[in-house]
Amino acid sequence: MKISRELIVGIIFIITIGLFIWGFNFLKGSDIFEKQREFYVEYDAVNGLIKSNPIVINGLKVGQVKDLYFAPDNSGNIIVILVISNDFPIPKNSIARIYSSDLMGSKAIDLQIGSSKILAQSGDTLGAKVEASLKEEVNAQVQPLKTKAEDLMGSIDSVVTVIQAIFNENARENLENSFESIKNTLFSLQNTTYNIDTLVITERTRLSSIINNVDDITKNLKENNKNISNILANFSTLSDTLAKSEIPKTFLNANKSIETLSKILDKINKGEGTLGLLLHNDSLYIELQKSSSDLNKLLEDIRLNPKKYVRFSVF
């Protein structure tokens, strides 16, 4: 069977049209020969994302951006249509993160797989996330260094000011005196430490004895703890008894007695009353002495002449 030239041209034309349609759709992000799923993502800003930018999962390309347009609610957000040509299961809580795929700033979408057990279906909306730009990342990294550098410059300026003050002639002299004082202090401290070490060495036996005595005292106190408690209890009882007794009244009576005795002694000293006359008038003393002398003479006479005073009769 002979095929006509016109038929061959028609077939080639149809194939060409088909390839053109396929290539056009492929460039738009869709492959008519593959099973595709479409997902929607709403971003505040896309940072330069355009159609046909790749979509990757863990670095493997699984699709591309099909289209971008403003949200119908006029909020300024951008709706991005993702076309996934891979049948890899995508959980419903997965995140579509826009990131820079190279140093030139080309954008791509990293599909971060979620942990949900529910799988997203074609036409569902995924979560959105935008990676900071290279400039923002650099600023975020450089800003702390800039702050530290500024603080360091301020510290260096303060140090330079202090150094200038130190190298002043008067300041240098004061600094030398200070170092000399520190040197003398360290020397004195060294001598003191040496003396302490010597004292500890020479008095080691006495220190050991003192420590042993303290240990014995502590042991005795521990062993006599009960007795000490009883003594303290007795003191407490005695204190309570003294507090309850009428000691102030007793002292008041004693003071009155002393005051009365003082008045009596004052009268005696003035020669008032019998006892005062006895102490201050010697006539009574003279009479008593005379009576004592007469009594002695009488007793002596009775001893020498008993018959004169005592008579005996015999029957």
Q: Which helix (H) or strand (E) holds 111?
A: strand 107-112
Confidence at residue 275, expressed as pLDDT on a 0 to 100 scale: 63
Tell me: do 19 and 39 sit in the same domain.
Answer: no
Tell me: do 2 and 57 sit in the same domain.
Answer: no
Range of the domain at 114: 34-131
Tell me: do 60 and 94 sit in the same domain.
Answer: yes
178 assigned to some structural domain: no
158 assigned to some structural domain: no
Confidence at residue 298, expressed as pLDDT on a 0 to 100 scale: 78
270 assigned to some structural domain: yes
Tell me: do 56 and 127 sit in the same domain.
Answer: yes
Tell me: do 21 and 39 sit in the same domain.
Answer: no
Strand partners, 55: 63, 109
Confidence at residue 139, expressed as pLDDT on a 0 to 100 scale: 62
Measured between alpha carbons, how far is 107 from 99 in angstroms, rounded to an integer?
A: 6
Tell me: do 110 and 52 sit in the same domain.
Answer: yes
Tell me: do 25 and 74 sit in the same domain.
Answer: no
Tell me: do 27 and 40 sit in the same domain.
Answer: no
pLDDT in tens, 33-64: 557 889 999 999 888 889 889 999 998 999 88
Measured between alpha carbons, how far is 93 from 125 in angstroms, rounded to an integer?
A: 9
Confidence at residue 309, expressed as pLDDT on a 0 to 100 scale: 67
In CATH, what number is assigned to the domain containing residue 65?
2.40.30
Q: Whole-model pTM? A: 0.38
């579509």: which residue's tokens? Answer: 96
**Cα dihedral value 112, 115, 119, 122, nearest 10:** -20
Tell me: do 124 and 40 sit in the same domain.
Answer: yes
Tell me: do 27 and 56 sit in the same domain.
Answer: no
Of 75, 101, 131, the last residue of a domain is: 131
241 assigned to some structural domain: no
255 assigned to some structural domain: yes
């002694």: which residue's tokens? Answer: 265
Please state, in angstroms and as integers, the Cα–Cα distance from residue 180 to each residue in 43, 114, 173, 188, 299, following that order.
73, 72, 11, 12, 107
Confidence at residue 315, expressed as pLDDT on a 0 to 100 scale: 47
- Compute how many other C-beta atoms are within 10 angstroms of the C-beta atom of residue 99: 17
61 assigned to some structural domain: yes
293 assigned to some structural domain: yes
State the 10-residue block means of pLDDT for the chain, 315 residues long: 71 84 65 74 90 90 91 91 89 91 83 91 90 62 74 78 67 74 84 79 77 82 80 77 66 80 77 65 72 81 73 51
Tell me: do 3 and 46 sit in the same domain.
Answer: no
174 assigned to some structural domain: no
Confidence at residue 135, expressed as pLDDT on a 0 to 100 scale: 58
Measured between alpha carbons, how far is 82 from 65 in angstroms, rounded to an integer?
A: 5
Confidence at residue 79, expressed as pLDDT on a 0 to 100 scale: 94
Concatenated DSSP letters of 103-142: TT--EEEEEE----SSBP-TT-EEEEEEPPPHHHHHHHHH
Number of folded domains in the chain? 3
The answer to whether 113 touches 95, Cβ cutoff 8 Å, is: no
CA atoms within 13 A on the CB side of 111: 29
Confidence at residue 2, expressed as pLDDT on a 0 to 100 scale: 60
Confidence at residue 258, expressed as pLDDT on a 0 to 100 scale: 85
Tell me: do 121 and 39 sit in the same domain.
Answer: yes
